[in-house]
């Protein structure tokens, strides 16, 4: 069994990031499994090495350890190899739509405001004399097919690839690797058997499972978490400065932060100072709430 935490080094971690890291670590260690830290720095414009070092420092300070560490920017050759595999299957095509084009021509999906790409640039949908003099993004063609999966925490889901996800990007027009491909290839090659992350990424499961299938890999088990939200019921972000690790480390001990998060994960009955290592045996997915969690501007 092997779990992972995969942060993006685009700023200091906030309490929501730490919550995901801690529960992923608890879940892996409670089963005697390995744990991987993977720095997801494929966004080279926003990623900074100093943020990656801060992530490592913050995790160590909290008592969260790992057995292996990887950096996505050192793994681009693997993504290239697997992209070629998908191209050889005739499933990849260039897309020249801008974000503005997509937002202007396609209705938001259901109630979450997300827009599903409808295949505008599929070869069969373009005029025969269509010519463009700029590079396009590379999209994966998806079938009109339901993907059924059981999330360990949120239960069974059935999501249609075409209607609810749409053809998705593998590589952006500027050459940057897209999240879905990089994450799927890394989870497969690193032997990740359990993915713990926020429930805002639940819709990524069918896309990643489809990639695993096309590339000939076994998909991991997925366990999604409720989000930590601010008083306005918006998920915590790097804009919530009072809850970022820089300020938290100045004002609290690691045991206080771990205890606060363990309380909100249902592991302990009250928010008291405790070492992370002391809670491994008490962790259970049955204790973790399913509704998003409101936290105030301080702990």
pLDDT at 43 over 70: yes
Q: What is the pLDDT of residues 69-115, one digit of tens each?
A: 999 999 999 999 999 999 999 999 999 998 776 755 554 444 455 78
Give the confidence band of 133 by pLDDT, cuts at 50, 70, 90. confident
Range among 12-16, 207-211, 230-234 with highest mean pLDDT value = 207-211
- DSSP string for residues in the chain: -EEEE----SS--BHHHHHHHHHHHHHHHHTT-EEEEEE----TTT--HHHHHHHHHHHHHHT---SEEEEGGG-HHHHHHHHHHHHHTT-EEEE---HHHHHHHSPEETTTTEEPB--TTSGGGS-TT---SS--EEEE---S-EEEEEETTTEEEEEEIIIIIBSEEEE-TTSPBPHHHHHHHHHHHTT--EEEEEGGGTTHHHHHHHHHHHHT-PPPEEEEEPPEE-TTSPBP-TT-GGGBHHHHHHHS-HHHHHHHHHHHTTSSSS-----GGGGGGG--GGGS-SS-EE--S--
Q: What is the pLDDT of residues 234-261, one digit of tens each?
A: 888 767 666 889 999 999 999 999 999 9
Spatial neighbors of 255 by CB under 8 A, at least 6 apart, are 273, 274, 275
- The pLDDT of residue 103: 58
Q: What mean pLDDT is predicted for residues 22-39?
A: 98
Give the confidence band of 205 by pLDDT, cuts at 50, 70, 90. very high
- The pLDDT of residue 84: 98
pTM assigned to the model: 0.92
Rounded percentage of the chain residues whose pLDDT exceeds 90: 83
pLDDT at 147 over 50: yes
Rounded percentage of the chain residues whose pLDDT exceeds 70: 93
Give the confidence band of 298 by pLDDT, cuts at 50, 70, 90. low
User: Lowest-pLDDT range, 78-87, 117-126, 216-225, 231-240?
Assistant: 231-240
> For residue 196, what are the CA distances in angstroms to 26, 86, 222, 297?
10, 26, 6, 25
Q: What is the pLDDT of residues 157-194, one digit of tens each?
A: 999 999 999 999 999 999 999 999 999 999 999 999 99
- The pLDDT of residue 237: 79
Give the confidence band of 22 by pLDDT, cuts at 50, 70, 90. very high
């Amino acid at each position: 069994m092997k779990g992972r935490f995969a942060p993006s080094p685009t700023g200091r971690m906030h309490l929501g990031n730490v919550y995901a890291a801690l529960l992923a670590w608890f879940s892996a260690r409670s089963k005697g499994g390995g744990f991987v830290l993977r720095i997801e720095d494929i966004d080279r414009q926003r990623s900074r090495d100093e943020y990656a070092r801060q992530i490592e420092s913050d995790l160590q300070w909290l008592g969260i350890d790992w057995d292996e560490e990887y950096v996505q920017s050192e793994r681009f050759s693997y993504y290239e190899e697997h992209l070629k595999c998908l191209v050889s299957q005739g499933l990849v095509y260039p897309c020249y739509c801008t974000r503005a084009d997509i937002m202007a021509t396609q209705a938001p999906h259901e109630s979450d405001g997300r827009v599903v790409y409808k295949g505008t640039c599929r070869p069969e949908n373009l005029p025969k004399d269509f010519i463009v003099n700029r590079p396009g993004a590379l999209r994966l063609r998806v079938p009109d097919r339901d993907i059924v999966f059981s999330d360990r925490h949120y239960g069974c889901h059935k999501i249609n690839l075409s209607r609810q996800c749409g053809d998705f990007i593998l590589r952006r027009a500027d050459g940057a690797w897209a999240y879905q491909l990089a994450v799927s290839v890394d989870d497969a090659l690193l032997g990740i058997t359990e993915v713990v992350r926020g429930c805002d990424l639940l819709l990524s499961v069918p896309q990643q499972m489809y990639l695993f299938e096309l590339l000939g890999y076994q998909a991991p088990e997925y366990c999604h978490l409720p989000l930590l939200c601010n008083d306005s019921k918006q998920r915590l972000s790097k804009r919530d400065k009072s809850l970022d690790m820089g300020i938290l480390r100045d004002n609290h001990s690691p045991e206080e932060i771990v205890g606060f998060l363990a309380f909100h994960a249902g592991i302990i009955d009250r928010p008291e100072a405790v070492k992370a290592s002391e809670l491994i045996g008490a962790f259970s997915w049955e204790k973790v709430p399913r509704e998003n969690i409101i936290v105030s501007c301080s702990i």
